[in-house]
């Protein structure tokens, strides 16, 4: 679940919480009056205590909505007992979104630790807040596990509990200032310890990332597969030979300086104008047309982009129309600084115009090359309805040594690969083939990898895994 989706659900269940509080507050007040006047109860609640209890009820409604009601039962039986796997995943993908989710998991439970000390003197003890927070987050993880609406993760338990303790130290620092009428250093240090720790860790990670020559490999797993419970059968012939191959870099990866030029070029082609404000979803920027429903989507991580009018009906072009559209597009591409030479034209399905980059010997080539294609589709009125610019501009960087296929196979035996559906006990993994290919890392480098393929138990259960080939 991404940040945008999370805040959508927060708004939804926050509204539900307000409705719930409209019911809870009269019931709570009526029950309290009954306890005091009819049952002659001796325990008195201050306004602060009552407000804390009511706010805790509203918080709990939102948390239950986010963790148990916002997703379908798609994760039945999923358990992740690998501590810090969220950080490994964020590092491998070099994803601020993954880091945001970690921080959100902590902040989601901060209100619990913040409000509990306001309920009573007993809940002002850290041990009490810790036990309540740990118990509640374990119960939520168990509900997710049993309902299949989430993954039971140790990371979530750790982050939720840590977030609650952050809220606890924050409110205790505030209460200390109110009680003593002065600011003391130690309570402030306790309240700021977690934020400072994360600032230091994130700064260290950014520094380490910037200093390393290549980026990270997003296909690496956050946790290894348990290979002790399955049988691995190697049918692919694997040698112990190493290779020297070329490495490239995508020149437009993460290059935001070219976006304005791109927008202006698309405006010249289509006659439309775009609002320069944009929406961001992870590594994607979306620009809307000023006077219509058009959209320009830029994939900043790769430099690719798409233009669409959202028109579903596509025109079938005769030979004359296709040639006219081809000339129009190629003239425009000729004025576009990013247009590569040597693209191979073809027409697909009667209406799609396509230009493909020529083949290139990536393994031994020592020159720049373009990878991918451009596809254009038109609606019934002859207006450009869809343009997909899926070209990557790769600059030759040098050569690297690879590990052998047999060495890479040992990574498979160690479980160091991504697997969406966990293996079950006594599964039979048959590895039929291993080929060298290329993958982009998070800095845009096109690096050699080995792709293993085969099946699990039966040939129709296709299995694939990618392993780094660089030494």
The model's confidence at residue 14, banded by pLDDT at 50, 70 and 90, is: low
Q: Under a CB-based contact definition with an 8 Å cutoff, are residues 75 and 149 in contact?
A: yes
Domain ranges of the chain: 3-211, 227-243+402-468, 249-396
Structure-block tokens of residue 82? 């690998």
The two three-digit tokens of residue 295, written as one number? 């959209």
Q: Is the pLDDT of residue 3 over 70?
A: no
Q: CA distances (Å), 426 to each of 81, 226, 306, in order?
A: 21, 11, 45
Predicted confidence band of residue 77 (pLDDT cuts 50, 70, 90)? low
C-alpha radius of gyration, the chain, whole number: 29
pLDDT of residue 96: 80
Q: What's the mean per-residue pLDDT of the chain?
A: 88
- Does residue 466 contact residue 417 with C-beta atoms inside 8 Å? yes
- The number of beta carbons lying within 10 Å of the beta carbon of residue 296 is 24
pLDDT at 203: 95
Q: How far apart are CA 384 and CA 268, in angstroms?
A: 13
Mean of pLDDT values over 397-419: 96
How far apart CA 106 and CA 193 sit, in angstroms, is: 14
- Nearest residue to 301 (alpha-carbon basis) of 356, 369, 246, 250: 250
Backbone angles phi, psi at 50, to 5 degrees: -65, -45
Taking only the tens place, the pLDDT of each residue in 16-33 is 666 766 777 777 777 767
The per-residue pLDDT for 70 is: 57
Residues 6+ apart with CB under 8 A from 359: none
Candidates 79, 128, 84, 115; CA nearest to 102 is: 84
* C-alpha closest to that of 339 among 408, 417, 253, 252: 252
pLDDT at 148: 75
CA 102/CA 163 separation, integer angstroms: 10
Tell me the angle at which helices 126-147 and 154-180 cross, rounded to the nearest 10 degrees: 150
Arithmetic mean of pLDDT, 30-43: 72
Distance CA 425, CA 118 (A): 49
pLDDT tens digits for range 178-207: 988 898 999 999 999 999 999 999 999 999
Distance CA 308, CA 235 (A): 46
Least confident of 125-129, 239-243, 285-289, 339-343: 339-343
Report pLDDT digits (tens) over 344-393: 999 988 889 999 999 888 898 889 999 999 999 999 888 999 999 999 99
For the record, the structure tokens of 416 come out as: 């160091």
Whether residue 73 is predicted with pLDDT greater than 70 in this model: the reply is no
Instruction: Decide if 59 contacts 21 (C-beta within 8 A).
Output: no
The reported pTM is 0.82
Q: Which of 191, 184, 189 is nearest to 166 (CA)?
A: 191
From 210, 201, 132, 196, select the one nearest 168 (Cα to Cα).
132
Give CA–CA dist 110/119, Å, rounded.
15
**Which secondary structure element, helix H or strand E, spans residue 296, and what is its range?**
strand 295-299
Tell me which residue has tokens 């025109």.
315
Give the Cα separation of 349 and 464 in Å (integer): 31
Quick one: pLDDT at residue 341? 75
Separation of alpha carbons 32 and 39, rounded Å? 10
Q: How many CA atoms lie within 13 A of 157 on its CB side?
A: 21
* pLDDT tens string 125-179: 999 999 999 999 999 988 888 887 778 889 999 999 999 999 999 999 999 999 8
Task: Say if CB 97 and CB 283 are below 8 A apart.
Answer: no
352-356 and 344-348 beta bridge pairing? antiparallel
């Amino acid at each position: 679940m991404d940040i945008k989706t999370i805040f959508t659900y927060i708004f939804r269940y926050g509204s539900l919480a307000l409705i719930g509080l409209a019911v809870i507050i009269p019931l709570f007040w009526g029950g309290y009056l009954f306890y005091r006047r009819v049952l002659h109860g001796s325990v008195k609640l201050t306004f602060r205590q009552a407000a804390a209890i009511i706010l805790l009820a509203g918080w709990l409604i939102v948390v239950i909505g986010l963790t148990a009601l916002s997703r379908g039962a798609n994760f039945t039986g999923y358990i992740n007992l690998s501590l810090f796997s969220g950080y490994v995943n964020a590092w491998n993908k070099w994803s601020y979104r993954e880091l945001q989710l970690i921080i959100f998991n902590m902040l989601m439970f901060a209100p619990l630790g913040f409000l509990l000390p306001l309920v009573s003197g007993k809940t002002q003890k850290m041990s009490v807040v810790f036990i309540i927070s740990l118990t509640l987050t374990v119960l939520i993880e168990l509900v997710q596990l049993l309902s299949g609406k989430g993954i039971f993760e140790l990371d979530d338990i750790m982050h939720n509990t840590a977030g609650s303790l952050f809220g606890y130290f924050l409110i205790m620092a505030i209460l200390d200032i109110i009680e003593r009428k002065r600011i003391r250093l130690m309570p402030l240090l306790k309240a700021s310890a977690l934020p400072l720790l994360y600032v230091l860790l994130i700064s260290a990670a950014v520094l380490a990332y910037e200093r390393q020559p290549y980026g990270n490999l997003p296909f690496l797993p956050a946790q290894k597969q348990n290979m002790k419970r399955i049988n691995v059968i190697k049918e692919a012939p694997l040698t112990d030979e190493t290779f020297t191959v070329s490495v490239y870099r995508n020149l437009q990866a993460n290059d935001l300086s070219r976006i304005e030029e791109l927008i202006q070029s698309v405006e010249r082609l289509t006659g439309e104008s775009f609002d320069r404000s944009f929406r961001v979803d992870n590594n994607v920027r979306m620009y809307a047309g000023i006077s219509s429903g058009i959209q320009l989507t830029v994939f900043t991580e790769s430099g690719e982009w798409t233009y669409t009018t959202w028109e579903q009906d596509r025109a079938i072009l005769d030979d004359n129309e296709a040639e006219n559209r081809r000339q129009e597009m190629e003239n425009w591409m000729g004025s576009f600084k990013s247009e590569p030479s040597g693209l191979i034209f073809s027409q697909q399905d009667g209406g799609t115009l396509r230009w493909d980059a020529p083949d290139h010997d990536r393994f031994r080539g020592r020159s720049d090359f373009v990878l991918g294609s451009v596809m254009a589709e038109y609606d019934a009125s002859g207006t450009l309805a869809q343009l997909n610019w899926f070209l990557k501009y790769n600059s030759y960087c040098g050569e690297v040594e690879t590990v052998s296929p047999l060495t890479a196979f040992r990574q498979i035996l160690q479980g160091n690969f991504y697997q969406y559906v966990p293996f079950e006990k006594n599964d039979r993994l048959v590895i039929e083939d291993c080929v060298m290919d290329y993958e982009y890392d998070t800095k845009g480098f096109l690096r050699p990898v080995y792709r293993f393929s085969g099946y699990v138990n039966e040939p129709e259960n296709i299995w694939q895994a990618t392993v780094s080939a660089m030494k």
